[in-house]
Amino acid sequence: MTTPAPDPTQLLKCLPLFQELLPEQLQAIAAASRQRRLSRGGMLFQKGDPAHGFYVVVSGQIKLAFPSLQGNEKVIEILGPQQSFGEAVMFMGRPYPVFAEAMSESLLLCIGGEAVFALLERDPGFARRMLAGLSLRLHTLVQDIETYSQRSATQRLVGFLLQLYPQGASGSHEIRLPASKQVIASRLNLTPETLSRIFHELSNSGVIEVHGKTVVIPDLTRLREYDL
Amino acid sequence: MTTPAPDPTQLLKCLPLFQELLPEQLQAIAAASRQRRLSRGGMLFQKGDPAHGFYVVVSGQIKLAFPSLQGNEKVIEILGPQQSFGEAVMFMGRPYPVFAEAMSESLLLCIGGEAVFALLERDPGFARRMLAGLSLRLHTLVQDIETYSQRSATQRLVGFLLQLYPQGASGSHEIRLPASKQVIASRLNLTPETLSRIFHELSNSGVIEVHGKTVVIPDLTRLREYDL
DNA sequence: CGTACCTTTGATGTGAATCAAGAGTAGTGG
DNA sequence: CCACTACTCTTGATTCACATCAAAGGTACG
């Protein structure tokens, strides 16, 4: 039933973060990492759990979110293959500020903190790549704040769709939503009802067509206009 | 008129980031840094400017914000002495995503990127502190998003006041607002009108007293209850 | 002491949440 | 293959928090 365990070294070397490491360094990291399988709905960690390392998504999808008293959680990020998370928390030796749940059958690599710290000692280039990676995330978050605070619900959705649109690809004009509309609504800080209504409006004005999880964009330029 | 230029090395060694550097390392950093004076309203950099280094506030106050078409800008952060900013952008070699403006007569240290990169090569401990510093910022931003998206205007203000409240200090019960109410409103993603009304409500219910920029908190516990 | 900017106060407007059903859609097991 | 349950998604009516508009005090400072 379960797919065969892939070689961790192979997986690691595909990550931007580890791109330029020497084989022996890769080995060291690989040795300090464990694989972790989760089925849909499985919890990787809870908010408040202590962090001993960071994670890389190999396959599947993981969502990071805040639990909420009334069960309506707030999704911070939806992570796919090749994306990593938890580095920041590891460096600070703090508990996780969010929880992580698998949205589908997922495979993860869990990389122990000690190995990273050891590598940091020896390879300044590694430090620099790590720093750059973290900076990128910071940058993204700053933009998220801009988004949340200055843009309407419609603009947020359009921005999201545009971001999903394969770079420069002018062929297909078709997007597959990466998650259920509920989850996307939460990511965009909207209720499912509102999201539904906006999809409807955009359809009516002919800017997009929605068929289940498929969104067709007949005129990219026109959609972009909503993005201000 | 201008205060005498202080010794950059003295300033640097007070910063958490540079706390444990060797004197010669401090020298190197100091050599690569320039001082920068700004008067109230002076611009340090604009959104979109290229980043060649990062900044440390020595004295005064700097605000980081997004420009906005209609002139109503969105304040991301208000930075005081000892705080630094721009590291993330420097590592990515990207232009600044926000602009920086002095809110009062300010003195800054501008630290060149090359010196930092060089130090990174030699001192893994420095790398680690840098990483931790950046991680902390990331953490804060994630919390900011939680704040913006899940909390009411009143809760945001109370949270802000609580954060301003000197740690554990049970003596004074008195806070000085670090900026004009306008600016604070923006930082909390509110209009000045709304902020004013909330201050009024909180005063009426006796949880706080407001006198200009001074806020008195007669009962800390009661204020905390608003914070949920 | 006057001009320019903060801050307050009141009246009104609105985007999105909430509440409340209903309509698909998808797995489950007989 | 067809109910049976359980979601996810839509649609409409209503509400509410906060923004916007407008105008009047306050305060700071050249």
Confidence of residue B1 (pLDDT cuts 50, 70, 90): very low
Structure tokens at B52: 């060649």
Mutate to test the interface with A, among B149, B150, B190, B227 (most CBs of A within 10 A): B149
* pLDDT per residue as tens digits for the range B115-157: 888 888 888 878 887 888 888 778 788 888 888 888 999 999 9
* pLDDT per residue as tens digits for the range A88-100: 888 878 899 899 9
**A168 Cβ contact list (under 8 Å, min separation 6):** none
- The answer to whether A8-150 and A153-225 have equal CATH topology is no
Q: Is-contact A177 A213, C-beta < 8 A?
A: yes
DSSP output for B113-154: HHHHHHHHHH-HHHHHHHHHHHHHHHHHHHHHHHHHHH--HH
DSSP output for B144-191: HHHHHHH--HHHHHHHHHHHHSPTT--S--EEE-SS-HHHHHHHTT--
What does the alpha-carbon distance between residue A80 and residue A99 come to, in Å, rounded to a whole number? 16
**A164 Cβ contact list (under 8 Å, min separation 6):** A175, A177, A178
Determine the distance in angstroms separating the CA of A143 from the nearest CA of chain B, rounded to an integer: 8
CB contact under 8 A, A132 and B89: no
Determine which of A7-11, B3-7, B145-149 has the lowest per-residue pLDDT on average.
B3-7
pLDDT of A4 > 50? The answer is no
What is residue A182's predicted lDDT score, i.e. its pLDDT? Answer: 93
Q: Domain residue spans in chain A?
A: 8-150, 153-225
In chain C, which nucleotides are within 7 Å of a protein Cβ? 6-11, 15-20, 25
Structure tokens at B214: 């001074």
Confidence of residue A177 (pLDDT cuts 50, 70, 90): very high
Q: Which residues in chain B touch residue A121, judged by CB atoms under 8 angstroms apart? A: 124
Which of 1.10.3720.10, 3.50.50.60, 2.60.40.10, 2.60.120.10 is the CATH number of B8-150?
A: 2.60.120.10
* pLDDT per residue as tens digits for the range B183-216: 999 999 999 999 999 999 999 999 999 999 999 9
What is residue A105's predicted lDDT score, i.e. its pLDDT? Answer: 84
* pLDDT per residue as tens digits for the range B47-66: 999 998 999 887 788 888 88
Q: Which residues in chain B touch residue A148, judged by CB atoms under 8 angstroms apart? A: 145, 148-149
Q: Which residues of B touch A (CB under 8 A)?
A: 66, 68, 74, 76, 87-92, 94, 97-98, 117, 120-122, 124, 127-128, 130-132, 134-139, 141-146, 148-150, 189
Chain CA centroid to CA A107, Å? 14
Chains A, B: CB contacts under 8 A, how many? 113
Once rounded to an integer, what is the mean pLDDT over residues A128-132?
Answer: 81
CB contact under 8 A, B150 and A74: yes
Residues in chain A: 228
Nearest chain A residue to B86 by CA: give it. A135
Once rounded to an integer, what is the mean pLDDT over residues A60-79?
Answer: 79
The DSSP letter of residue A83 is -
Mutate to test the interface with A, among B69, B135, B144, B189 (most CBs of A within 10 A): B135
Q: Which residues of A touch B (CB under 8 A)?
A: 66, 68, 74, 76, 87-92, 94, 97-98, 117, 120-122, 124, 127-128, 130-132, 134-139, 141-146, 148-150, 189
In angstroms, how far is the first alpha carbon of chain A from the final one? Answer: 48
What does the alpha-carbon distance between residue A200 and residue A197 come to, in Å, rounded to a whole number? 5
The DSSP element (H or E) to which A89 belongs, if any, is helix A87-92
Comparison of pLDDT for A44 and B107, the residue scoring more: A44
Give pTM, 2 decimals.
0.76
Confidence of residue B2 (pLDDT cuts 50, 70, 90): very low
What SS3 state is found at A172? coil
DSSP output for B73-106: -EEEEEE-TT-EE-HHHHHHT-B-SSEEEESSSE
What is residue A39's predicted lDDT score, i.e. its pLDDT? Answer: 86
Comparison of pLDDT for B24 and A200, the residue scoring more: A200
Number of C-beta neighbours around residue B53 at 10 A: 19
Nearest chain A residue to B77 by CA: give it. A142
Which architecture characterizes domain A153-225 according to CATH?
Answer: Orthogonal Bundle (1.10)
Q: Is-contact A112 A33, C-beta < 8 A?
A: yes
What is residue B160's predicted lDDT score, i.e. its pLDDT? Answer: 94
Comparison of pLDDT for B151 and B26, the residue scoring more: B151
Mutate to test the interface with A, among B145, B151, B155, B190 (most CBs of A within 10 A): B145
What SS3 state is found at A56? strand
* β-strands A43-45, A99-102 pairing: antiparallel
What is residue A3's predicted lDDT score, i.e. its pLDDT? Answer: 41
What is residue A167's predicted lDDT score, i.e. its pLDDT? Answer: 65
What is residue B196's predicted lDDT score, i.e. its pLDDT? Answer: 97
CB contact under 8 A, B91 and A135: yes
Determine the distance in angstroms separating the CA of B2 from the nearest CA of chain A, rounded to an integer: 35
What SS3 state is found at A67? coil
